[in-house]
Structure 1
Amino acid sequence: MNFEYSEKVAALREQVQAFIDEHITPNEALYHQQVAKNRWAEPAIMAEKKALAKAQGLWNFFLPLAYGEYSGGLTNLEYAPLAELMGRNHWASEVFNCAAPDTGNMEVLAKYGSEAQKQQWLEPLLAGEIRSAFAMTEPKVASSDATNIETSIVRDGDDYVINGHKFYISGANRENCKILIVMGKTDADNPSRHLQQSMVLVPTDTAGVEVVRAMTVFGYDDAPEGHAEVIFNNVRVPAENIILGEGRGFEVAQGRLGPGRIHHCMRSVGAAQKALEMMCKRVNEREVFGQPMAKNQSVREDIARSACQIEQARLMTLKAAQKMDTEGNKAAKDLIAMIKIVAPNMALDVIDRAIQIYGAVGVSQDTELAWMYAGQRTLRLADGPDQVHMMQLGRELAKRYNEA
């Protein structure tokens, strides 16, 4: 396996890094000031930098070549090092129009959407004109088993009527979130639990859609994206808003989650790498017990162990990306599951060590470490909790070797 960057990728990495250094990192304080003034609006600095990135062609990297005319022109393997750079900063991905949940939603529309759905929703998403959300998780059932989802999607003439209760719907708090992909049951009595579910497009301004509140993550509301609690009360949408067809919800979900999971892992590697660099800088600046912190053996071990873990996760991520490119997402499902288990846990380990080295300031608002930790802890739940990935991976491996 050759994970050396091609000339094209090396050049893109330089461009992306230069853009981050010039336009994103120096504007961190301004970004937060603007968010504080209007929690759910797009900050002016974000709009300004998105327009600049788009004009420079640093845009929509995430859609792989298999998506034809909608592709960003890169393979998953080529995109990985760019996503890693974006993962070092919490608003960089959006600047390049490569932020979740829009990336997954755009993949769904590009792969499964009708031509009308693509024109109405995919094209403005690709242009960065609107934002979107993916509404699956529910508060009243264990949503790690998606067959439990209770939201009803009932055909009524030329419409579907939707009733349900969702929460932790990332992005739905945004003022410019214009479309929701909602998962629910169109055939609750189907003997196959995996054919009961469907996905339907619901514009956020549809009557009966109520954003109740912003849920927090360890006290963070993650504005301006947020994680909304949403009620659907007799929400009526045209029948043509169904994605792919009734009973195809699990098929669509699997097509969405494979790439989305590995994108999270790419960004996790970037977050961990940033924490490591912060750690190394800190230990060279601080003195404890009469000597630089860097001379403390336990500190050196923490740095070394962190570097090892990051590189292991980086290589596993690249291997999964390469297999997705060469053999398809289904063939790479074992590696995708492995890295989804490994990467967030790795990042948590590294960030926790950095927090310990920073001391009290590490859990304060004066560094990004506490926010980074909260984000990575969430990823142990997002797109399937660790236990589900381990259960399915263990089952498949046991079965495979039993048949050998």
Structure 2
Amino acid sequence: MVEATDDEGGAGSDGADYGVTVESQSDYEPQTDAFDDLLASEPADPENIDHEQRGQQRIAPPWRKIDTLPRPLVECGCGDCPERYDPLADTDTVTDAFSDLMDRSTMAADECPNPRPMTVERAATAYYVYEVATHDRDDRTSKVEKTAKQHGRYLDGERELLTEHYDDPSTALLSFRPRPIGDAPDPEHRDSGDNYGPTVESQSVQHSDGKRRWRYPTTVDYQLHQPIRKVYEKLYQQLRDFSWSYVWVVSGTDSAATPHLHWLIYVDDPDDELTAGYFEPAVDAFVEHCQFARHEDHSVGDDTDSDAVVVHTEPPKYDDVDDEQLIENLHYNDKEGFELNTRALAYLLHQRPYWVFRRIREGQQSLGDEQTQIDLQAAAVRWASVTDGIASSQDFPS
């Protein structure tokens, strides 16, 4: 089974956001709390977070090749560049359209002799500024627009999978969470290639020397992706007697915008054989091969909020569909039945970081709210990362 990545989107159906096939359907973000209580636990994040301190961490390490970062996330590091080289110069993230920013030919990434990645806080602002600039131009496609197109395609693909390929599917949802904080290196090694940043002085994250450090978010994201092949190999071994497919999605935690990964697996399971135990080797493989993961953050069981594995032999469906939409869908499908999407996939797609822009535009979130700032940081981390944010098995319909 070969993996097909799909992080930047492309042509395809806008799809049905509520799990039903509609000829003309909005592509906006789904609203679901189906798995919020179950998966809201963030065991790898510290309990008490100084968000101001977190925001001052660089979004990427200083040794990251500047040309691998989006130009708007790079700032002057020499201190002598003209202000106009700053990607955020002369911008107002609340009132302006920023359309001219996309045409800037000169930025710090181009001219500064010592450019550096922005802080997480500034990168979040830059993401929003440039997303506005892209979204408000007819000749460009914004990240949230690409996300919406992917969204419809994945929902369409799941419905096809459940109706045409699997007779009696079960699902397993695996959750992988690296820790965003680690032991502080010796002071003389702070600039020698370590993965850590500002010192954290908090009881919830203290080490024996009283100091632990925030890791660079893109480094956390990179480490999150390192075990994917090993996880797949364990899944292949454990599920060799079944037909199965998968989708995985990377998102940021609500508490610290920490990259984490949810892996949704569909298994043709007519005898309801699947248990969490089938997937424990895959969870172990992730913890063993992710530098920042710990076993205590990845319990495997049926009763705890922090479970790394949740199995449904009868996957709950996302059925929040009003009567008008039901009538429209029955008409479109010649009064035949239609398949609802699973709540699990609705949850995964809802978590994608770029949706924050749509929520702000539609008034569901405010730029002044702390949670909105965290969500914008998660979007900036995704933009700055070189990894994929969503992928599926090659046999997943699309």
Give me the TM-score of the superposition, normalised by structure 1.
0.23
Structure with the bigger percentage of helix: 1
Give me the TM-score of the superposition, normalised by structure 2.
0.23
Q: Which has the higher contact order (CA 8 A, sep 6+)?
A: 2
